[in-house]
Amino acid sequence: MNEFQTSERSGRPVRYSQITEPDYSLNAIDRHSDTLVYALGGLGEVGKNMYCVEHDDEIIIIDCGVLFPEDDLLGVDYVIPDYSYLIKNQSRIKALVITHGHEDHIGGIPFFLQSVHLKQIYAPRFAKALIEKKLEEHRLSRACKIVEIDGDSRIKTKYFNIGFVNTVHSIPDSYGVIVNTPNGRIFETGDFKFDLTPIGPNADYQKMAYMGQVGITLLMSDSTNSAVPGFSVSEKAVASAIMDQIRKTPGRLLVSTFASNVLRLNQILEAAVACDRKVAVFGRSMENVCEIGRKLGVINIPDSAFITGNELNTLPNSKICIVCTGSQGEPMAALSRIANGTHKYLKIIPGDTVLFSSNPIPGNGVSVSAVVNQLTRVGANVVVNSPLTSFHTTGHAPREEQKLMLNLIKPKYFMPNHGEYKMLVQHSATAQETGVPADHCLICSNGDIVVMRNEECFIANERVQTDAIYVDGNDASGLSTSVIKDRQILANSGLVAVIVTIDSRYNKILCRPSIVSRGFVYIKESQTLLKEAELVVYDALKNKMQQRTTFGELKNCIRSSLEPFLFQRTNRNPIVIPVILNQKAAIAQIMAKQAARKL
């Protein structure tokens, strides 16, 4: 017999003896003396980051983000974590701490505040401004106080002492979080990279090295680029490449990048002004970030350098730089509308240059290619990032920079986070290369509980309830989840409506049912199938109506008879909608009886 088997819960190999003779007492939780660490989002996915640290009657939350939906989630605007556990325990929540201002770390706050009452949120300066704007849009400005933090800030509760460490990322004011607990120290890096020549403040290497000397029990570290070898390109190199491109562009220049990358946006604007170009900004999110950046002094461009859409035709093409959203091929973003000729102010003219200061996020490659092709078709010269041009650099640490973090912190235990499962495994392998023992690398899923006890860590047998909640519009109740399932069935199998006419006075069907199909089968070629289906429903209803019944039972009878028949004949399960029409005289009789009862 194989000595090792696979655990059904975690997928990790364990000894056969551990399966046949488990000792669950070893992994039991003492909720008064143990410190618990778990994620409601951010593990096995890139997005909806939400990490919790719990001890006795206190809970600390790090980040509250959203996940942007894939194409198969029809009509979904956001995916957020299931907040059920925190709603039940909201009196124990002592702090929500934000590491930085990206949507996958702050986007869930408005939905969270609709369910949970918080006194205050602790956020860095730029993230604070973005959160305030977001809450204003959701009419939640008074829902919670937002306290600004920096690298010297401290938050103290009965059991926790929280501090912050400057990191470098693609947005200003990015921090890692140190949580001192009764059972050891935790360091959650947030999103980070190491850039020796950054735009803005550098990472606090000294504080990280000091933490490594003092001792970190558990390191939770960004895994996004764990499969990318080497070091990242410096933002200074990107700034130089953008400046060169603007200088040598003869006509109008359109630059598209991530709206959240305000440091990159500032580089583009400064380079445009240095090359004597006026700047127009398009895209709602880009305009908001530009406004906040200028308000906080991150973007230092005079008002005279900006022009509106109406002023574009008043200047020579060589004096114009347009900055817009749409670098990921989003169909409603500014660049897509410009490419398709549907933008209010802008249309591509031959000789325009479009610069993509970004890389396609995995999954967006087809959309980006479609926009690039359309731009080229209407006469634009499209320039994209490549290893030879360096128009973009990542905000997440590649493998060698992850090793640097591990060597600075020297953790006793390591829990990779912020990444898909493969990324977590690869980051765990990197940690083992730097000296972290394999059995001290904890690869978890959302809801898994890591128990800290006397500076030792293990994964408990218990889990926290967690799931993905689909947000359609502003509904964060989770009710949209069932709606999405119906949309998916409609997209895959279509709809069948069954119209039945009855006389409820005599419990009688007046005529054979009529079936109408949309998106299920091609009607002209499936008349025989639909006629057979009508007979199946008719026979089932005749048998059902031989005894006293209700409208609800008749609808269930239609579904239970028709759905198996359609699946057997077509191997598809369309949505079946029964429509029961009652004869006018029967309805009048029902109304008269109801009126008599009221009297």
Please give the positions annotated as active site. 222, 396
The residue ranges of DSSP E strands in 205-300, in sequence order, are 218-222, 253-256, 278-282
- Taking only Cα atoms into account, the Rg of the chain, rounded to an integer number of angstroms, comes to 30
Q: Are 320 and 352 in contact (CB under 8 A)?
A: no
Contacts of 41 by beta carbon, 8 Å cutoff, 6+ apart: 47, 48, 49, 50, 65, 67, 80, 81, 108, 446, 466
Residue type, position 307, single letter: I
408 token code pair = 């600075």
Q: SS3 sequence, 284-333? A: HHHHHHHHHHHHHCCCCCCHHHECCHHHHHHCCHHHEEEEECCCCCCCCC
Separation of CA 363 from chain center: 13
Q: Are 333 and 306 in contact (CB under 8 A)?
A: no
- Between the two ends of the chain, the Cα-to-Cα distance in Å is 79
Q: Which runs of E-coded beta strand occur in 345-482? A: 353-356, 381-383, 413-417, 448-453, 456-463, 468-471
Contact present, 352 and 324 (Cβ < 8 Å)? no
Cβ neighbours of residue 165 closer than 8 Å, sequence gap 6 or more: 151, 175, 176, 177, 178, 187, 203, 204, 207, 208, 211
Closest CA to 155 of 176, 180, 173: 180
Q: What whole-number distance in Å separates Cα of residue 539 and Cα of residue 151?
A: 75
Which has the closest alpha carbon to 262: 237, 223, 288, 228?
288
- Residue 301 · residue 274 · CB < 8 Å: no
Q: Which amino acid is at 471?
A: V
Widest Cα–Cα separation across the chain: 88
Tokens at residue 123, please? 């956020």
Task: Give every CB contact of residue 400 below 8 A, 6+ residues apart in sequence.
Answer: 229, 230, 231
Handedness of CA 289, 290, 294, 295 (dihedral sign): negative
Q: What are phi and psi of 568, to 5 degrees?
A: -65, -35
Angle at 293 between CA 287 and CA 294, to 5 degrees: 90
In the chain, DSSP finds a helix count (H) and a strand count (E) of 17, 27
The answer to whether residues 393 and 232 touch, using CB atoms and an 8 Å cutoff, is: yes
